[in-house]
Structure 1
Amino acid sequence: MTSGDDLEFENQAILDASARFDFTASDQQYPIALTIAGSDSGGGAGLQADMKTMEAHQVFSTTVVVGLTAQNTLGVDAAMPASVEMIDAQFASLMADFDVRAAKTGALFDAETVRAVARNVRQHKVDHLVVDPVMVAKGGAALLDEAGVQTLKEELLPLSELVTPNIPEAELLSGMTIDNLDDMKHAAAKIQALGIKNVMVKGGHLDGDTVVDYIALGDEDFVLTGPKVQGKRKHGTGDTLSAAITSQLAKGMSLKNAILMAHRYMNQIIGQPLYIGHGHGPLNHGEWTDPNIFRKELRADAWSCQFVVGLANVGGSEQALFETVRNACAAGITLVQYREKGGAEKTFEERLRIAKKLTSICRAYQVLFFIDDDVDLAIAVNADGVHVGQSDSNVADIAKQAPQLLVGLSVSNLAEEQENRKVQQYLSYIGVGPVFATTTKKDAKTPIGLKGLAAVKQASKLPVVAIGGVTEKNVKAIRAAGADGLAAISAFTKSQNLEKTVAQFTGKDVKNHEK
């Protein structure tokens, strides 16, 4: 018989073996990279840019912090190197636990720091080292002193698999002036002569509308080009490019292909700026959507046919809700608004799950997806917009909280439209109604009729969407009153021919008939 102590020992042995197995499995599944750089408190460069880039490339990022900076997009206000002892301790701690497959360096501050990093790279046998020889910040501040540059050339660069200087850095390393592609080639050859096999000279500082990068990989060389984006929203480009290359190396990619992948990533994000800060703004590492993209690219009939729907409108069945929305999207609906009114209360988690599924359906058909009233839910599912009523939420607050959301506002008459003139700059459309009597909203106000709708349309500069009592029988009259769009519930949920109903709402039935 096994004693309690023996059983505990056996269980611990199983746990230990499992832990070893899990470590090995995760080690194989999740490539790990290391950034050896300074901290940028502004988040646009340094190890922060490296970490964002590595995570964007699905690589787990670890860090050795070699110094601190107090900086923002306007410049560096203060800098302080880490002690050699702390640098050594960070290396020792990381290498004792992580399988670091590739590493990169950024700003290294001074000769002592460069020497400490080089020593640790040799001691811990760091593979696939990419050296981004950061010497000057985007705003002009020096990030490596003269002695540091010399130490970098003598001790760290020979340990690298690739060095990625920009034009000013390549000039310092090669000792020559660079004005064109031929100069870049000569500079790369001189840098290779320092004992570095592979060099990438980045040509973003040269004149012209195209960025030209020259890459020398041993005896092979090639040129990569990309569009030069004007403006100053390009802080941390060097860090980001080198981190992207390092990420691909950590995933086992060849150096040439890693460079090609990183170059493609840079060209992709450089044209999607983030308007953050007042100076040299950061790059869009996560490829966030421009908050104004929908305002810029909305189709002309974006508001023409809106389907307002929730569980209460389809008998409480989630499956029926999903099928109804999918069918409406396939029929040509232009916007779906998810609204839970009446019936059993749903928790936020339950509504979140439903809204996520509805979002995916709408995305598949390129149909706008809005949430009724709930801004938090709209943010959580990355909805296109939110529709609010007079008492639901302050429109200006929504614009401040979630500028990426399109906002629709309900007004019941001309007086309310005029009361909301101050917030119309934040709105995408206004919903007007009820135009006719409706049974789907118990607290609906007095219908304003076609004359009331026409009065609001004449006064408003925004698209006007008719709501309340809209059916197949009155859509032509509503459009004739000037409505830019129509919103309905039962007209779609009870339709015997959804495609025909949608065509009537959008006016396409008239166009087809005229043809």
Structure 2
Amino acid sequence: MVRRGEKTLDESESIELLTAVDFSDADRQYPTALTIAGSDSGGGAGLQADMKTMEAHQVFSTTVVVGLTAQNTLGVDAAQPASVDMIDGQFAAVMADFDVRAAKTGALFDAERVKAVARNIREYQIQHLILDPVMVAKGGAALLDEAGVQALKSELLPLAELITPNIPEAELLAGMAIRNLEDMKQAAVKIQALGVQNVMVKGGHLSDTAVLDYIALGDEHFVLEGIKVPGKRKHGTGDTLSAAITSQLAKGMSLKKAILMGHRYMNQIIGHPLYIGHGHGPLNHGLWTDPNVFRKQLPKDAWACQFVVGLANVGESEQALVDIVRDACAAGITLVQYREKGGAEKTFDERLRIGKQLRDICWAYDVLFFIDDDVDLAIALNADGVHVGQSDSDVAEIAQRAPQLLIGLSVLNLAEEQESQKVQQYLSYIGVGPVFATTTKKDAKAPIGLKGLAAVKQASDLPVVAIGGVGESNAKAIRAAGADGLAAISAFTKSRNLVETVAEFTGKDIKENEE
């Protein structure tokens, strides 16, 4: 849940549009991030937690080891920093070969190492730096001396896109005691004044029943509410959250959405720790690979209004495609499915370039972005999901290969719905149809009608989306037959008023869609 002051703010609030970038061969490389921190021999925090988190988010992790610790779940027994020459050497090796798209820091030990890290970040112009100002270990051991704190404030903090202090760290940075949400707000503003625009003050150390994190993104302030989990098996939570945010930035997400996704990830795993060791036990970082996590947390109307579209549907005009997707998202659709069929053949790189533009527009409006059939493209674009037909890719194989993807499956009738139950555990919804005759899809089968749609809906435990021949004139009847969503092409491309079309599809009045 997201709250702005006393007002609840849904996670569906629109996200800022990402800055357009040029495309090259680098865009086809696997998303890569860099963690700059100390090693935890116990495996629960530090570099080890960062790497596990990044892998859980399908991001390749590179490292700069700033120091070694001898620690376990009971505490830190010893710590030894790496030499500055070795820190410099690691930066040089990583940056010479890898396409690092985001980076984070952890324990940096002392002022000399802080300054060395800051110098390298400036030298290699590392973008999207998340600063996790690790100063005290979970067991209470100091991980950054006083001179190191001052160096962090003066050298490293101005280079960060976001800083993520917990309560003790925020108190140290802001120079004030923090006892409640109002104090967290004041501390965030004071930390911003030190030279970083975006601050996330984590409230897990406060004694409230809920965990409240205060986020200040420039002038936009809001609160994220999480669950309070009893017990001490929460080692490495700060590292894990900052690594999750870094991972999403490496995959191209905006900062706000990366924070929301990181917060969602923490809520998913913190209640299911690993029972290892005898002290502050570690988190279960791999739990995020559950393919049903996203589906369980989606709003009920996530499938309500789907726009299936590609260049062939807009006269092969790329600008027209971008414009109509943006207009449809602004009008209130809930999902865009990018589908290149029936027109001039496009190379993978062309579809990648076009898809990235459409994806960024969808994310700006918090609209789900799906790819039709092409799993490789969906993975490359970090799409929300992929939609496949009966003769397309195998659903179980998709789920195993890319568990982060939501999956929709087309079924024609009740028999195919019953067959789909074998892979139901991997599916987010089923697309049923054609319900009515359609000219958009040349190989479309005979329509099943409203009775056929109702029969499938009654038999299925999944959300059912009507496809084929869907338009404003029959939208109400389709919803009455039980459909959870409606998908169309020409109803949107030929619409004279997209806002009104969306209202007919969703059954909401125009004011509700605008909200």
Partner of 1:404 in structure 2?
A: 404
SS of equivalent to 1:234: coil
- What do you get for the CA RMSD once the two structures are aligned? 5.4
Equivalent residues of 1:430, 1:462 under 8 A apart: yes
Amino acid paired to 1:302: A
Larger Rg over CA atoms: 1
Question: Take 2:464 and 2:240, find their aligned partners in 1: how far apart are those partners?
Answer: 48
Residues 1:348 and 2:343 are matched in the alignment: no
For residues 320 and 307 of structure 2, the distance between their equivalents in structure 1, rounded to whole angstroms, comes to 15
Shift of residue 508, structure 1, vs aligned partner: 2.8
Paired position in structure 1 for 2:415: 415
Q: CA deviation at 1:455?
A: 0.9
Secondary structure in 2 aligned to 1:487? strand
For residue 333 of structure 2, what is the aligned residue in structure 1? 333
- Counterpart amino acid of residue 434 in structure 1: P
Give the 3 Å change call, closer, same or farther, for CA 304–269 of structure 1 in structure 2.
closer
* Corresponding position: 1:227 with 2:204: yes
* Closer, same or farther: CA 317–106 of 1 in aligned 2, 3 Å: closer
Taking the aligned partners of 1:384 and 1:240, their CA distance within structure 2 comes to 21
Task: Find the aligned partners of 2:353 and 2:300 in 1 and give their Cα distance.
Answer: 31
Looking at structure 1, the residues matched to 383 and 353 of structure 2 have their Cα atoms a distance apart, in angstroms, of: 13
What does residue 395 of structure 1 align with? Answer: 395
Equivalent AA in structure 2 for residue 226 of structure 1 = G
- Structure 2 equivalent of residue 496 of structure 1: 496
- What letter corresponds to residue 474 of structure 1 in structure 2? N
> Per the alignment, in what secondary structure is the counterpart of residue 418 of structure 1?
helix
How far did residue 167 of structure 1 move? Answer: 7.1
- Contact residue 45 and residue 282 of structure 1 kept, 8 A: no
Alpha carbons of structure 1 residues 34 and 447: separation in structure 2 relative to 1, 3 Å: closer
Q: Which residue of 2 aligns with 1:443?
A: 443
Cα deviation 1:237-291 (Å, max 9, x = unaligned): 58999xxxxxxxxxxxxxxxxxxxxxxxx99996574889775887799xx9997
SS of the residue corresponding to residue 420 of structure 1 reads helix
* C-alpha deviation, 1:351, in angstroms: 0.7
Q: Deviations over 1:84-134 (max 9, x none)?
A: 9xx798479689999xxxxx99799xxxxxxxxx9xx9xxx767599xxxx
Conservation of the 8 A alpha-carbon contact between 1:35 and 1:50: no
The C-alpha deviation readout for 1:270-322, integer Å capped at 9, x for no partner, is 6574889775887799xx99976642442332222211111111111111111
* Structure 2 equivalent of residue 474 of structure 1: 474
Q: More displaced, 88-97 or 494-503?
A: 88-97
SS at match of 2:203: strand
Q: Structure 1, residues 31-76: CA drift from partner, whole Å, max 9, x if none?
A: xx996855759685348849999xxxxxx97446769x9x9x9999
Task: Tell me the SS of whatever aligns to 2:236.
Answer: coil
- Whose relative contact order is higher, 1 or 2, with alpha carbons under 8 Å and at least 6 apart? 2
Aligned residues: 358
1:334 maps to a residue whose letter is T
**Percent identical residues:** 58
Task: Label 1:294 to 1:234 Cα distance change in 2 as closer, same or farther (>3 A).
Answer: same
Structure 1 Cα separation of the partners of residues 402 and 325 of structure 2: 25
SS of 1:340's equivalent in the other structure is coil
Partner of 2:46: 45
Q: d(CA) in 1 for partners of 2:330 and 2:485?
A: 18
Q: How does 1:310-325 map to 2 (within 5 A)?
A: 310-325=310-325
1:395: how far off?
1.6
Of residues 368-377 and 349-358 in structure 1, the stretch that sits farther from structure 2 once superposed is 368-377
Where 2:408 maps in the other structure, the secondary structure is: strand
Contact 1:46 1:236 in 2 (8 A): no
Structure 1 counterpart of 2:46, one-letter code: A
The amino acid across from 1:339 in the alignment is R
User: Runs of 5+ in structure 2 lacking a partner?
Assistant: 1-33, 55-61, 95-104, 118-132, 151-165, 179-200, 206-228, 243-261
In structure 2, do the counterparts of structure 1 residues 42 and 392 end up closer, same or farther at CA, with 3 Å as the change threshold? farther
TM-score relative to the length of structure 2: 0.55
How far apart, in 2, do the equivalents of 1:240 and 1:494 lie? Answer: 44
Alignment of 1:250-269 (within 5 A): none
Where 2:437 maps in the other structure, the secondary structure is: coil
Structure 1 residues not aligned, in runs of 5+: 1-32, 54-59, 99-103, 109-117, 131-161, 169-180, 201-209, 242-265
Moved more, 389-398 or 220-229: 220-229
Matched, 1:373 2:350: no
Provide the secondary structure at the position in 1 that maps to 2:491.
helix
Change in CA separation of 1:403 and 1:211 when aligned onto 2, cut-off 3 Å: same
Amino acid at match of 2:339: R
- Aligned 8 A contact 2:47 2:63 in 1: no
Contact 1:36 1:66 (C-alpha < 8 Å) held by counterparts = no
- Please tell me whether the aligned partners of residues 39 and 65 of structure 1 are also in contact (alpha carbons under 8 angstroms): no
